Chain A
């Protein structure tokens, strides 16, 4: 009888493993870094950098996969990031900027000098929207799908390698 019980050990081991595998099915391994992943982009109401009269809100980000880039004139790495963002825009990806803790004048100057890959820029001088997004600093980038849900979060400078290996596959995935 004892021997028979020993023969049950592999079965028990497997059953325990399957319980974990079953749990694993409902967990998302990619949900690692941002609490905002798979959540709606936070609601906001702000004017655009380009035109103080134009008010925009969440609906701006719906209907199309969009990369939302948080930048500022005061941020040196944002300048290094611009060629990659221009490259992404050239590939037909829609980009929306958040000009974060900046003055209108400096922000527009920045775009003049380094190019403007953004369809439109949300003006966020007090950093309120940035706070809602849990932004630590600039640059940071969020991928928002057509339903306005955050699907990917990139902290820091997007390298040309990131464009190829991370951003484009992510954009494709949600397109």
Chain B
């Protein structure tokens, strides 16, 4: 009996969560405005309650999937009794309704985390922060309940079996990519709530930035990993070896990342130097707004994308209203309450302050560039000027040079000082590193590829320019004070910048030195690609849990080597949807990937086979992981823990 009621329990839990969100938003905000501690005290328990009920709803939907309850429309459309259990779980968020439920679960989770880990926050601040997060929850819970109910039943005609999960999504990468990405997207709601709370409270000092910094770093780290996972997934699952397509949905995740990157740097300046106050608030609002915009672009289908999601204009309209109210109101609050006179903090043009300002400006230019490229087709269409699509040429032509300029200043940042520094000192710190970067960067393509390549050189020089001055700085510091005295925050910065350099090397090398061959092969044939011999030894048909597959077996050997290894790409036909899929065979390595994908059956027993050699492709994602690790490491810094242990909240705000 209870088992049959699971979808209704989930639905009811969502309604209760909405009611809790209402109380979580209204009581504490009103309490903070009228200084009533009792009203403010609603914030914490309501955040916990809301999280509990959203979690219950999520578990109910997961249970419906695991129990193959095809009377639930969502399950019938996206699952199948033959689907392995782990894909049944990940199918929960492989569709519109479920992924919105995951979104709101993340939001409730972040609110709950703020409620748990902010014991030292002033009551009024906490009340406002949780109140604002509650407001956002209200919007999204209402969105789910009104337009996208995941628990809708198909009664009385219950299908015998489900339509199956899209085979593209039946993959490990897709189990973890959306949750990670959403953790990042939604995590920026915390810094957003802090910024608005600071505006409402009228105390726009550096204190809010210190509280918001760890949350921002964590959200940013999740987003970084999420984007890297998405790129990795596209690389091995789509079967053509690309890792970034400048697709609107990818751009939607890149936009908050770029703005978030600017934000974590700007937060540092505001915390340490009390400068850029309004700017930091605006960035905090923008970053979360871009997350919401990303949600809108993906969920409304206003832009064409390789990610085919179900589109429904009424949903698009609802999200646009949410976006409009949230962003519009917060920008209005910003316009009314941002500090009238910016507190002038003097700094020289050759200082860390100035460099971080330039960093911010460049990152914002990059954000606007990507935003324009993404919405440009929409703008033209809306103006009746025809339908066009903005392709990779536009993005590459602008994004690559901007990145190089950004690197130029990024190399200077870590070795500069706050406020001002002498030109001579900077010169002394950078000259050798700069020269080495130039020489190695220009010579390396000659040695590696046999001929000079401008783009590879540009990439390598940029990357080395980021790394070498830091190494030199570390060397100086190890002699003066010893490496143990360096703070975790410093190490976080080092890792983050190193990650950027690693990614840049990956991009430069894989974009210029990849080899791709399309060949026709039958068992017994072999082909040479990039110094490897690929011999097709076997071709067999097999049956998987919910698909049929043709498997080709290759013996691959490096030229001159005696040891060989096996690679076995597959062409699968998924039964429920009759949809064919390419299962790539990968031989990953730190310095090169070998990539074999089956194309078409050419009927005479041979197949069209796509073989690719991808040097340094792993560096793309390795860099992302390093950046994320840097972000997390910075949060672990003693500074944040000590504050929680000793400093009383009130004094902290004044400090």
Contact of A25 with B by CB under 8 A = yes
Which B positions have Cβ atoms within 8 angstroms of A?
A: 278, 282, 285-286, 289, 296, 300-304, 308, 313, 316-317, 320, 323-324, 327-328, 331-332, 334-335, 338, 340-341, 375, 377-379, 381-382, 387, 577-580, 599-600, 603
A interface majority secondary structure: helix
Query: Hey, which chain A residues are within 8 Å of B304, CB to CB?
Result: 29-30
Q: Is the CB–CB distance between B320 and A168 below 8 Å?
A: no
A19's nearest neighbour on chain B, judged by CB, is: B382
Query: Hey, which chain A residues are within 8 Å of B327, CB to CB?
Result: 14
A8's nearest neighbour on chain B, judged by CB, is: B335
Smallest distance from the beta carbon of B141 to chain A beta carbons, Å? 22
* A168 to B308 Cα, complex, angstroms: 13
* A20 and B382 in contact, given A4-B340, A168-B579 (Cβ under 8 angstroms): yes
* A32 to B303 Cα, complex, angstroms: 12
* A17 and B375 in contact, given A7-B278, A31-B387 (Cβ under 8 angstroms): yes
Contact of A38 with B by CB under 8 A = no
Smallest distance from the beta carbon of B321 to chain A beta carbons, Å? 10
Smallest distance from the beta carbon of A160 to chain B beta carbons, Å? 5
Partner of A21, one of B308, B313, B320, B338: B320
Can you offer 26 A-B residue contacts whose CB atoms are under 8 A? A4-B335, A7-B338, A10-B335, A11-B332, A11-B335, A14-B327, A15-B328, A17-B375, A18-B328, A21-B296, A21-B302, A21-B320, A23-B378, A24-B303, A25-B302, A27-B302, A27-B381, A27-B382, A29-B304, A29-B381, A29-B387, A31-B387, A91-B578, A161-B599, A168-B579, A169-B308
Residue among A8, A21, A161 having the largest count of chain B Cβ atoms under 10 Å: A21
* A8 to B338 Cα, complex, angstroms: 10
Smallest distance from the beta carbon of A136 to chain B beta carbons, Å? 19
Query: Hey, which chain A residues are within 8 Å of B382, CB to CB?
Result: 20, 23-24, 27
B342's nearest neighbour on chain A, judged by CB, is: A3
Contact of A55 with B by CB under 8 A = no
Q: Is the CB–CB distance between B296 and A92 below 8 Å?
A: no
Q: Is the CB–CB distance between B578 and A168 below 8 Å?
A: yes
Query: Hey, which chain B residues are within 8 Å of A21, CB to CB?
Result: 296, 302, 320, 323, 375, 378
A32's nearest neighbour on chain B, judged by CB, is: B387
* A161 and B340 in contact, given A14-B289, A14-B328 (Cβ under 8 angstroms): no
* A83 to B600 Cα, complex, angstroms: 12
Query: Hey, which chain B residues are within 8 Å of A7, CB to CB?
Result: 278, 334-335, 338
Q: Is the CB–CB distance between A20 and B378 below 8 Å?
A: yes
* A10 and B303 in contact, given A20-B379, A21-B320, A24-B378 (Cβ under 8 angstroms): no
Query: Hey, which chain A residues are within 8 Å of B331, CB to CB?
Result: 10-11, 14
Residue among B302, B579, B603 having the largest count of chain A Cβ atoms under 10 Å: B302
| Given A20-B382, A23-B381, A29-B301, 9 extra CB contacts under 8 A | A7-B278, A21-B296, A22-B320, A24-B378, A24-B382, A25-B313, A29-B304, A169-B308, A169-B579
Within A154-169, the residues touching B (CB, 8 Å) are 160-161, 164, 168-169
Query: Hey, which chain B residues are within 8 Å of A8, CB to CB?
Result: 335
Smallest distance from the beta carbon of B342 to chain A beta carbons, Å? 9
Query: Hey, which chain A residues are within 8 Å of B308, CB to CB?
Result: 169, 173
* A25 to B381 Cα, complex, angstroms: 11
Smallest distance from the beta carbon of B199 to chain A beta carbons, Å? 11
Smallest distance from the beta carbon of B430 to chain A beta carbons, Å? 36
B579's nearest neighbour on chain A, judged by CB, is: A168
Q: Is the CB–CB distance between B387 and A161 below 8 Å?
A: no
Q: Is the CB–CB distance between A26 and B335 below 8 Å?
A: no
Chain A 31-70 per-residue mask, 1 if CB under 8 angstroms from chain B, else 0: 1100000000000000000000000000000000000000
Query: Hey, which chain A residues are within 8 Å of B381, CB to CB?
Result: 23-24, 27, 29
Q: Is the CB–CB distance between B328 and A11 below 8 Å?
A: yes
